[in-house]
Amino acid sequence: MSEAATTITFSNVSRFYGEVLGINKVSLAIPAGITSLVGPNGSGKTTLMNLMTGLIRPTQGEIRVLGVEPDHPEKLCRMVGYCAQFDAFPRGMTGYQFIYSFLRMYGWSNQECDQRTAASLQMAGLQDAANRPVAAYSKGMRQRVKLAQAIAHDPRVVILDEPLNGLDPLARAEAIALFRQWGDQGRHVIVSSHILHEVDRISDQVILLSQGYVVAEGQIHSVRSEVKEQPMQIEVRCDRPSMLASRLFQQDHVVEAKVSPDGKGLLLRTKDADSFYLLLNKVILDSGLEVESIAPADDDVNSVYQYLIGAEGATV
């Protein structure tokens, strides 16, 4: 299978709303797995999602979703499921009718639509509420029925705009597990979220957007290592943090080292993580330092977001 048929590609795509910029000159290749779109309000996340699903068209540039142009809904929408941010439903429908009615538009038989509806409602944990009007659902249930509707046709690409909004912690955990499962199955799962620590937990790769531009994209570790101007933070749990700190201060690349209040850890900031790891190995060999754990302390979406975009719009 060609690469074009397995990725979602944006080639120099711009979208303007009159004179207002939606996104500008975006070029991306999104592989399978979970991709998170991160950025403050108005950064272009929803524009990007609407472009992928053909709900809006680019002012310039070209988009291909697994090789298909988004202005062919008859092909695209068999592969793509989109849970949009709008909390609106056709009037007077039950959860079952809502999913079933739109499945019928795929041209499937009653029986097939019925089976798919039941399966998706079960996946969303709404089988008991299936025959209640959607208007009587709680916000969390409405969010779940939208998710169920978006994936009822078993799409290869699942696009979810703020899917965790309105979900209680348990439902959130269940939804995240579901996204993980879809990602592991080789689907493209594209999620936008403000909740950075959850984005961090689920994402295979991130796309950081700010004011219509892609600021960074890729796996979060690679994105973090690209941010050279911000020293890396590393936390070392060991038996003699003060001794380690004294050795580290002799190095030019170490900007800061702080012993933790419990006296069993050291938080340091270094401009050259590779040199630090080499030095640490040497210290262990020379002095018999017992190291319990070493972990990057700012190798996450939240830190990268703060470094590249700033505090505006972040919800941690």
Residues of this chain that interact with other proteins (CB under 8 A) are 50, 53-57, 71, 73-78, 80-82, 84, 86, 88-92, 101-102, 104-108, 149
The phi and psi torsions of 242 (rounded to 5 degrees) equal: -65, -40
Nearest distance in Å: CB 117, other proteins: 13
Torsion, CA 140, CA 142, CA 146, CA 149, rounded to 10: 120
Q: Which amino acid is at 302?
A: N
| Smallest separation, CB 74 to other proteins (Å) | 5
To the nearest whole angstrom, how small is the minimum distance from the Cβ of residue 88 to other proteins? 4
Q: Which is nearer to other proteins, 73 or 310 (CB)?
A: 73
Closer CB to other proteins, residue 124 or residue 232?
Answer: 124
> Whole-number minimum distance, CB 80 to other proteins, in Å?
8
Q: At CA 233, angle to CA 227 and CA 179, rounded to 5?
A: 70
Nearer to other proteins, 19 or 74 (CB): 74
- Position 298: which residue type? D
- Bridge pairing between strands 205-210 and 33-38: parallel
**Cβ distance to other proteins smaller for residue 161 or 300:** 161
Contact 264, 238 (CB under 8 A): yes
Closest distance to other proteins from the beta carbon of 37 (Å): 18
Beta strand ranges found along 137-212 (DSSP E): 157-161, 188-192, 205-210
Closest C-alpha among 159, 183, 162, 166 to residue 55 = 159
- Whose Cβ is closer to other proteins: residue 30's or residue 151's? 151
